Amino acid sequence: AHQLRQHYWRIYGATLKGLMRHHGVDAYHFLEQTHALMDLPEMVIQVKRLRHLLTSIKGRKCVFTNAPRTYAMRVLEIMGIADCFELIFSVESTQFHAKPSVRGFQMLLNTLNVNASDCVMLEDNLPALMTAKRLGMQTIWVTRKLNKPNFVDFRINSVLALTHLKL
């Protein structure tokens, strides 16, 4: 199972896409079953000052996630920041063309009615950042790693470090 999950992740950018294509898995049922975490409030790490940071950032803000919408909303609500975002663009929103799929990114840009060059992608996943950069977005990698690939514009070790960037 682990090898198959990794194989589909490499080929499709998401395990679910491979399960749908090769095994007839119902995406909505799969997401409901795999993301029904009753102990989610205990699992979510609270970040002090995050709400203040988000409300201080000018411009439109959205969440682009490979998670199902209900799960993403639960996490944002637990963190007390759901209302800081104009849009939650979930894996369902992309019709299961999850990041790093170019198609998913294009669907997001079309929904927002914006050009990629007017967007900043904050992400912890390098393949997604590579797609964002190819489309023309400015990229910020959230990681504790020290190296910075050339398609990454900024590297920060915490979302709270956004206050130090000149975007």
Distance CA 20, CA 110 (A): 25
For residues 87 and 108, what is the distance between their CA atoms, to the nearest angstrom?
A: 10
pLDDT tens for residues 62-74?
Answer: 999 999 999 999 9
Sorted by where each begins, the domain ranges of the chain are 1-34, 40-164
pLDDT band at 87 (very low <50, low <70, confident <90, very high): very high
Number of other residues whose CB lies within 10 A of the CB of residue 43? 9
Which CATH superfamily is 40-164 part of?
HAD superfamily/HAD-like (3.40.50.1000)
User: Where do we find the tokens 């995406």?
Assistant: 27
pTM of the model: 0.83
